[in-house]
DNA sequence: TCCCGGCGCGGCACTCAGTACCGCCGCTCG
DNA sequence: CGAGCGGCGGTACTGAGTGCCGCGCCGGGA
């Protein structure tokens, strides 16, 4: 039932938000019973036994109660990205960041499946989920832009890779949710992200055994000054 | 001012929707004057001189008036996809389908720039645009799924390619919009989509040979993916 | 112990998007 | 010439989201 992102294991009694969890529980009970649009905020607060005003204190909109933990997960992702150094392959880093999301889904499989069924058939919730996914994607793209800075078409590469990572992640995640959360969600996402890493990563991961050597292209127009050649060479090598 | 997708050239007096265009014009005047959220539907219909009920006859919601032609463009895209045979490279086909969108934007540059500024700073409109983009992406992915049927991880590949195409298209389109629609939007999108085709398409890309006097030196290790070669080649040729 | 300030909560009233229903008018077809 | 009929406007309603205020609880300070 509980869906809070904060852990609560010891004897302490719901240290964080008792009323917030009550609202989420009441909302999902009613959403599953009579549908999302047939449930008003007044119904939710009546079942939860709190005032209507308190609902909007904890959730800016009615849709937010369906995604109570994404805000925290997004914060975790930005923390993860800002904490990861410049050493590893950036594509691998954003793939790891995406794994944070599927891990959150896998923490509450039943809850995630219910929410998936809800968002699948309510257009308003689908639109809201899109905006949430968009924020994840922008976080990944922002990180990649800094890592790709200096390369040619850096923002384009960043956006495309971020979109591919999100698409692969969501493909595997939705497939897992459609199967009623049977099997290993993280493994499915790993497999999907493997394709993206193979296509965009510095090192083509799955076809192992090959050399991780990169490619260098030098194009020199006749009469082009030497510094121009050096510049292109540096650009191709990824130097700043 | 006009933004209708239907042509109206001859002496006939706005054969399709006179009142619809009036609503769009009035809405944008008010949106630019005092902002989107500061403008009510009553304000729009008052300025347009029609009844409030008529607004919702033409636009299901207040957000729809900002994107008056996307419904038609989406229909064009689905028509284009269902009409294209199974002969060509499917990745190239979806790239061509995406070009329909930028072409629509390029038809009314001033209108597109205004709308871009609006959607950039109004969260509600951003969310709505996301849902519109999502429908384009699903159309592309649906086509690719049928074309990829039988291949391994066909739906995954379809989703990833569709997302990459949309991301590349939007990257170039938004860059063009941010520059106040100076330059060639379609060329920018072509360049961006070239990267996607290089990464995912059957045929790397037609590089459109330039001067035969150029000297090209390519050093490629076997581990490097083909798209990297093409990317560096394009970069070295100064195509951006 | 009493007082005081803050804060979380509930209640009220309001705006505005979106919908259902109805009544009007002009057009066209029988 | 009359009867449908479709586009349009008006009215009234629901429900989401907001601003405002008053209450009660809790902790700190004199």
Distance from CA of A46 to the nearest CA of B (A): 29
Which one is predicted more confidently, A215 or B117? B117
CA-to-CA distance for A5 and A11, rounded, in angstroms?
A: 18
C-alpha closest to that of B80 among B165, B140, B158, B3: B140
CA-to-CA distance for B2 and B110, rounded, in angstroms?
A: 11
Distances (CA, A) of B93 to B142, B164, B165: 13, 14, 11
At a CB cut-off of 8 Å and minimum separation 6, what does B208 contact? none
CB-to-strand D contacts below 7 angstroms: A 39-42, 52-53, 56, 60-63; B 19, 49-54, 57
CA-to-CA distance for A29 and A40, rounded, in angstroms?
A: 13
Question: Which of A91, A217, A218, A230 to mutate to test binding with chain B, by most B CBs within 10 Å of its CB?
Answer: A217
Confidence of residue B5 (pLDDT cuts 50, 70, 90): very low
Angle at B131 between CA B195 and CA A59, to 5 degrees: 125
Distance from CA of B205 to the nearest CA of A (A): 16
Asked whether the beta carbons of residue A236 and residue B237 sit closer than 8 angstroms, the reply is no
Among A49-58, A142-151, A154-163, A197-206, which stretch is predicted with the lowest mean pLDDT?
A197-206
Asked whether the beta carbons of residue A222 and residue B215 sit closer than 8 angstroms, the reply is yes
Average pLDDT of the residues in B205-213: 42
What tokens does A58 get? 């904890």
A106-137 tens-digit pLDDT? 999 999 999 999 999 999 999 999 999 999 99
Which one is predicted more confidently, B193 or A87? B193
- A97 with A80: CB under 8 angstroms? yes
* pLDDT over threshold 60, residue B217: no
Average pLDDT of the residues in A6-27: 67
CA-to-CA distance for A145 and A164, rounded, in angstroms?
A: 15
**Rounded CA–C1' distance between A62 and D15, in angstroms:** 11
Indicate the SS3 state at residue A215. strand
Q: Which nucleotide is nearest to B51 (CA to C1')?
A: D9
Asked whether the beta carbons of residue B195 and residue A157 sit closer than 8 angstroms, the reply is yes
Q: Which of A5-9, B82-86, B101-105 has the highest mean pLDDT?
A: B101-105
CB atoms within 10 A of CB A125: 20
CA-to-CA distance for B141 and B158, rounded, in angstroms?
A: 5
Asked whether the beta carbons of residue B224 and residue A215 sit closer than 8 angstroms, the reply is yes
Confidence of residue A23 (pLDDT cuts 50, 70, 90): very high
Confidence of residue A17 (pLDDT cuts 50, 70, 90): confident
Q: What percent of chain B has pLDDT over 90?
A: 72
Contacts of B134 in chain A (CB under 8 A): 126, 130
Which candidate from B195, B219, B223 shows the least CB-CB separation from A156? B195
Residue of B nearest to A196 (CA): B160
Cα-Cα-Cα-Cα torsion A160, A165, A169, A171, nearest 10 degrees, comes to 30
At a CB cut-off of 8 Å and minimum separation 6, what does A158 contact? A141, A142, A144, A145, A147, A148
Q: Which domains, from first to last, does chain A contain?
A: 18-64 (1.10.10.60), 69-200 (1.10.357.10)
For residue A72, the number of C-alpha atoms closer than 13 Å in the C-beta half-sphere is 11
What b-and-e string marks burial along B153-172, b requiring 16 or more CB atoms within 10 Å of the CB? bebbbbbbbbbbbbbbbbbb
B122-174 tens-digit pLDDT? 999 999 999 999 999 999 999 999 999 999 999 999 999 999 999 999 999 99
* pLDDT over threshold 80, residue B17: no
What pairs with residue B220 in β-bridges? Answer: A215
Which one is predicted more confidently, B101 or B15? B101
Contacts of A127 in chain B (CB under 8 A): 127-128, 130-131
Mean pLDDT of chain A: 84
Q: Is A49 exposed, middle or buried (0-12, 13-18, 19+ CB in 10 A)?
A: exposed
Residue of B nearest to A141 (CA): B167
Backbone angles phi, psi at B4, to 5 degrees: -65, 150
Q: How far apart are the first and last CA of chain A?
A: 51
Q: Is A153 on the interface with B (CB under 8 A)?
A: yes
C-alpha closest to that of A165 among A126, A213, A205, A198: A198
Q: Is A13 exposed, middle or buried (0-12, 13-18, 19+ CB in 10 A)?
A: exposed
* pLDDT over threshold 90, residue B36: yes
Q: Which nucleotide is nearest to A65 (CA to C1')?
A: D16
pLDDT of residue B236: 58
Among A70-84, A184-198, B209-223, which stretch is predicted with the lowest mean pLDDT?
B209-223
A75-108 tens-digit pLDDT? 999 999 999 988 789 999 999 999 999 999 999 9
Contacts of A217 in chain B (CB under 8 A): 216-219, 229, 232-233, 235-236
Distances (CA, A) of B28 to A133, A139, B68: 29, 31, 11
């Amino acid at each position: 039932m509980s869906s809070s992102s904060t852990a609560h294991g010891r004897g302490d009694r719901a240290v964080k938000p008792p009323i917030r969890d009550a609202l989420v529980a009441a909302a999902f009970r009613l959403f599953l019973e009579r549908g999302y649009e047939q449930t008003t905020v007044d119904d939710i607060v009546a079942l939860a036994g709190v005032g209507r005003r308190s609902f909007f204190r904890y959730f800016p909109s009615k849709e937010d109660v369906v995604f109570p933990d994404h805000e925290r997960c997004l914060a975790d992702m930005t923390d993860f990205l800002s904490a990861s150094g410049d050493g590893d392959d950036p594509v691998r880093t954003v793939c790891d960041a995406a794994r944070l999301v599927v891990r959150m889904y896998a923490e509450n499989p039943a809850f995630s499946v219910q929410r998936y069924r809800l968002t699948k058939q309510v257009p308003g919730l689908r639109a809201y989920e899109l905006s949430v996914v968009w924020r994840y994607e922008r976080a990944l793209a922002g990180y990649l832009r800094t890592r790709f800075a200096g390369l040619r078409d850096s923002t384009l590469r960043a956006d495309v890779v971020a979109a591919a990572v999100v698409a692969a992640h969501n493909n595997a995640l939705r497939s897992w949710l459609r199967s009623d959360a049977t099997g290993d969600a993280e493994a499915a996402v790993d497999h999907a992200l493997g394709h993206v890493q193979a296509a965009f990563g510095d090192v083509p991961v799955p076809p192992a055994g090959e050399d991780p050597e990169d490619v260098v292209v030098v194009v020199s127009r006749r009469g082009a000054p030497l510094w121009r050649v050096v510049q292109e060479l540096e650009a191709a090598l990824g130097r700043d």
